[in-house]
Amino acid sequence: MKGATHRWGTIAAIAAICGMVATMGGCGQDGRQADPVEPSAEPQGPISVVASVNQWGSLAAQIGGDDVSVTSIVNTTAVDAHDFEPQSSDMAALQQAQVVVSNGAGYDAWATKTLGQETVSVSAAETVGASEGDNPHLWFSKDARNGMATELAEAFSKLLPDKKADFQERLAQWQDREQELEDSMETFSRSHPNVTYAATESVAYYLMSDLGFEDLTPEGYAQAAANEAEPAPADLQEFQDLIASQGVDLLVDNTQQGSDASDMITEAAASAGVPVFDVSEQMPEEFDNPTDWIAALVETVDGLLPVDDPGDSSPSDSQNDSDAGAEDEASDKDPQDSDE
């Protein structure tokens, strides 16, 4: 009986083990194998991208191509981005986006207020180290554009690793076109040395700097415009006098920031014959991307100014050359001729 009990105990133990193994795929060679575990699926596109303004949204579309779906919240020149108030649908789109593209530097603070923990944020201000209080019109800066293009390519590549080569190829294509734009800016600078401008508002500050312009906007007026305040009468008068005396080569006017003061300045420019360069903050509808838009702006500025050839001599230099030639001619004459 004792031996039988031992055998039954052993059989029971084996049965228990087989039962455990059965739950894992079978006992012995006749057991059925469990279905293999499927590997995690690769992330699928397109990546949902929401941009605060169309300047950066269109750049995201250039880099992302068909692998991204981009929505730009402020996408018309009829809207003043400084005073824009997002609707609930705008905030919902931002919260649901995989990537949010913003300008930063206080320009669109609403765009990054309620982002989820999984949302990837790409900010122009963070890319170039700008902060609130700095000039926020960063899309006109070649440094910001280059930095943002690279940041967007990296962000998209992390979300869709298998498409990294595609993102890098589009980035390279964008960089080639951007280099053409910057080459045209250098050509402009060589053709127009020592050019100056004043502005009714600082929208094109970075663009004018990249073109080699010196900003002569009266300080008091510029500060009032930056604070979206009316300029003091003395500051407005100083600006009008600068324009009336043709003290600058060009007046820059922000067509989305009109005011009584800016109207008075542009009227003074018309009277004095100072060319006016009109520029908006948001990219106009006829352009698909900021590169083409800015290239068109450079052409416009170039057409407003006469070409100043550095090789041309000044009137005083020409007179000196003439006098020197006359002296040489006199010294070559026969002394007897002078005696006669």
DSSP string of 274-305, one letter each residue: --EEEE-SSPPTT-SSHHHHHHHHHHHHHHHS
User: What tokens does 193 get?
Assistant: 């040395």
pLDDT at position 309 is 52
Tokens of 223: 């500060």
The confidence score (pLDDT) of residue 83 equals 83
Are residues 272 and 71 in contact, defined by beta-carbon separation less than 8 angstroms? no
| Contacts for 232 with CB less than 8 Å, ≥ 6 apart | 220, 224
Classify the C-alpha dihedral 96-102-104-109 as positive or negative: negative
Residue 123 DSSP one-character state: E
Residues 6+ apart with CB under 8 A from 33: 25, 26
pLDDT single digits (tens) 41-75: 556 779 999 999 999 999 999 999 999 999 999 99
Q: Please, how many CA atoms are within 13 Å of residue 2, restricted to the half-sphere of its CB?
A: 0
| DSSP three-state, residue 305 | coil
d(CA 97, CA 314): 60
**pLDDT computed for residue 308 by the predictor:** 56
Q: What is the pLDDT of residue 39?
A: 45
Residue 92 to residue 87: CA distance in whole angstroms: 9
CA gap 67, 156 in Å, rounded: 9
Per-residue confidence (pLDDT) for residue 13, from 0 to 100 = 41
- State residue 37's pLDDT score: 46
Chain centroid offset of residue 263 CA = 28
Distance between CA atoms of 143 and 206, rounded to whole angstroms?
10
C-alpha span between 239 and 237 (Å, rounded)? 5
**CA end-to-end distance (rounded Å), the chain:** 162
What's the Cα-to-Cα distance from 138 to each of 5, 129, 326, rounded to whole Å?
A: 87, 11, 56
For 206-217, the DSSP string reads HHHHHTTPEE--
Q: Which two tokens stand for residue 247?
A: 């003290």
Instruction: Indicate the pairing of strand 120-123 with strand 68-74.
Output: unpaired
pTM score, whole prediction: 0.78
According to the model, what pLDDT value does residue 81 have?
A: 83
Coil, strand, or helix at residue 69? strand
Contact 188, 301 (CB under 8 A): yes
Predicted confidence at residue 43, as pLDDT, reads 64
Q: Which residues in the chain show pLDDT less than 70? A: 1-43, 307-340
